[in-house]
């Protein structure tokens, strides 16, 4: 896996990754060449903001599918956590396991955060739209959950 840490911008080649989803199926960006991909990073399964975001992608999933866009969620949670989250909310897209935070680091979303005055490393909610050529078409950081999935649908 890539370990690139510089901030990615529109036009950059997206870092390749390989990871398993909640079922153990392997995924890589290289294998998705020729397809548009929405790769969204979220902090934690079953938290209010992450649930709202995932359900928003779920509710628009058919529209992504009509555009032949692959939607992938990524967080540091385990496969077991992802499987429960996916089943509980009927999510139709894969959730990639990144327990070692390699994909998060490659995309520059593993960052210092502050909550109630406490500083800690965590996932900065971010989304990347990757074109069929493997280049980044949109890079959104510090994403607001409300309306985010629709904005990504508009971006592909």
Where in the sequence numbering do the catalytic residues fall? 50
* Nearest residue to 98 (alpha-carbon basis) of 22, 38, 30: 22
Strands 26-28 and 136-140: unpaired
- Cα separation, 156 vs 148, whole angstroms: 13
**What 8-state DSSP symbol labels residue 135?**
B
Residue with tokens 């800690």: 120
Buried b (16+ CB within 10 A) or exposed e, 87-122: eeeebebbbbbbeebbbbbbbbbbeeeeeeeeeeeb
């Amino acid at each position: 896996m890539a370990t690139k840490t510089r901030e990615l911008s529109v036009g950059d080649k997206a870092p390749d990754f390989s990871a398993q989803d909640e079922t153990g199926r392997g995924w890589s960006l290289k294998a998705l060449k020729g397809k548009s991909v929405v790769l969204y990073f979220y902090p934690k399964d079953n938290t209010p903001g992450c649930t709202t975001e995932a359900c928003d992608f779920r509710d628009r999933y058919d529209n992504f599918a009509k555009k032949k866009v692959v939607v992938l969620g990524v967080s540091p949670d385990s496969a077991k956590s992802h499987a429960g989250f996916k089943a509980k909310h009927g999510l139709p897209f894969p959730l990639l396991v990144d327990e070692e935070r390699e994909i998060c680091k490659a995309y520059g979303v593993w960052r210092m955060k502050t909550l109630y005055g406490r500083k800690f490393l965590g996932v900065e909610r971010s989304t990347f739209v990757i074109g069929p050529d493997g280049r980044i078409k949109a890079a959104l950081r510090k994403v607001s959950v409300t309306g985010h999935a629709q904005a990504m649908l508009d971006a592909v």
